[in-house]
């Protein structure tokens, strides 16, 4: 089997379809923003924060999510949001990413002085500034490099408390008498409506709707109304599913939420995690689910490092089910999840894949192209096809140069 050269991974055009803005700040910027915002950090050095908060390994998903209390706390001004978005785009451009979808929950950053529309506009300004600088460069204008495009995915949350911020405190105050699962569903519907309204009114490239947060005990079905609204208004859908729960969570994402893509999907093949009493043959259920996902080209946003950090059973990447996903013909795209929290980049994730999992050059090509083909790109269909064609041409050109034995 041909080895995928590191130089090829470094130089090919790449995507990141699953990257959280508030999990991907530069650590130096987090410290600067915290000083400016008077947010107390457990350490004021990068080394200290890596030891105490942003670790190499986490006990579980809640432990992994703990650092977001600091990143979200500093992203409460338009200036900080714009800066974080600009720097994220710059970091991605530097490693060859030519399309990315930045996801975050704008409601986490709202307060009396900052509306949801202002939050989204600030993030868009940062991304646009970086994209404009790149796309006006001589290399792009002379067709020596590909342009850079981006989209924004708005996240709803499976659950929350008043400590999450003013937006959530207000909502819980207004709906405090209702069952919590109903409150969570109402909040998601409100965010879906706001995303569509802001997209249509402001012309922002809001391309998708997501559901994030702790899976166990907070089913996606509780957010069915929000996803139906997004679906009815031509907003593409992705769902964090199968990250910390079993195949039934993925099934709900597809059937109740009309998911076009699945975030993580880690436990897709875990028949032993099937709990539904109406499923007499869990193994057959899993096989049918995987076949359906493959045939419908529902892309799986795989985030290797973050899964290794939060799932104790995965001692190394060779134990990750991404190998089975690829072997089953699933549309797999490799993503970072959180560049800061997981200390990673797209290039590192792809290196981890090819060094840990037996993968042919053809399979590797499919993984790279799955990111572009599965993208919720804010372009017309014909424009997207033309862009993907340019990506394919560039990939094949670099493959001939750097991996001729595999052609």
Supply the residues annotated as catalytic.
243
Q: Is the separation of the CB atoms in 349 and 371 below 8 Å?
A: no
* Strand residue runs (E) in 37-104: 97-104
User: Where does residue 99 fall: left (phi above 0), alpha (psi -120 to 50 degrees), or beta otherwise?
Assistant: beta
DSSP-H helix ranges across 203-317: 224-232, 247-255, 282-295, 304-310
Locate the DSSP E strands across 116-219. 149-157, 206-212
Place of tokens 């709202």: 110
Measured CA distances, 298 to 116, 134, 263 (Å) = 30, 31, 11
Maximum C-alpha span of the chain: 67
H helices present in 357-380, as ranges: 361-373
Q: Check if the beta carbon of residue 19 is closer than 8 Å to that of residue 339.
A: yes
The distance of Cα 136 from the centroid of its chain, to the nearest Å, equals 27
How far is Cα of residue 52 from the mean position of the Cα atoms in its chain? 24
């Amino acid at each position: 089997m041909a080895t995928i050269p590191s130089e090829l991974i470094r130089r090919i055009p790449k995507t990141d379809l699953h990257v959280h803005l508030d999990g991907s700040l530069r650590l130096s910027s987090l410290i600067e923003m915290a000083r400016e915002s008077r947010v107390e950090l457990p350490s004021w050095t990068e080394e200290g924060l890596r030891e105490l908060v942003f670790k190499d390994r986490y006990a579980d998903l809640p432990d992994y999510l703990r650092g977001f209390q600091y990143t979200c706390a500093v992203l409460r001004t338009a200036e900080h949001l714009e800066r974080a978005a600009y720097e994220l785009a710059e970091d991605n451009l530097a490693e060859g990413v030519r399309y990315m979808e930045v996801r975050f929950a704008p409601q986490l950053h709202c307060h009396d002085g900052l509306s949801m529309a202002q939050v989204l506009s600030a993030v868009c300004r940062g991304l646009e500034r970086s994209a404009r600088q790149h796309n006006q460069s001589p290399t792009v204008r002379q067709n020596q490099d590909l342009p850079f495009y981006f989209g924004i995915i708005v996240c709803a949350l499976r659950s929350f408390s008043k400590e999450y911020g003013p937006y959530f405190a207000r909502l819980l105050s207004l709906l405090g008498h209702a069952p919590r699962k109903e409150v969570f569903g109402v909040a998601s519907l409100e965010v879906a409506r706001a995303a569509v309204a802001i997209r249509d009114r402001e012309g922002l490239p809001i391309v998708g709707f997501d559901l994030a947060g702790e899976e166990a005990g907070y089913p996606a079905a509780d957010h069915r109304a929000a996803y139906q609204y997004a679906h009815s208004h031509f907003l593409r859908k992705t769902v964090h599913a199968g990250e910390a729960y079993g195949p039934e969570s993925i099934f709900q994402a597809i059937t109740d939420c009309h998911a076009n893509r699945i975030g993580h999907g880690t436990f897709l093949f875990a028949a032993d995690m099937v709990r539904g009493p109406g499923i007499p043959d869990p193994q057959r259920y899993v096989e049918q689910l995987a076949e359906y996902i493959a045939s419908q080209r529902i892309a799986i946003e795989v985030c290797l490092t973050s899964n290794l950090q939060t799932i104790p059973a995965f001692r190394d990447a060779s134990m990750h089910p991404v190998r089975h996903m690829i072997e089953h013909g699933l549309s797999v795209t490799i993503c970072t999840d959180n560049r800061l929290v997981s200390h990673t980049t797209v290039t590192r994730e792809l290196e981890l894949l090819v060094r840990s999992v037996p993968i042919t050059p053809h399979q590797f090509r499919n993984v790279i192209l799955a990111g572009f083909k599965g993208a919720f790109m804010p372009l017309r269909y014909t424009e997207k096809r033309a862009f993907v064609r340019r990506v394919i041409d560039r990939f094949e050109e670099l493959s001939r140069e750097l991996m001729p034995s595999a052609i």
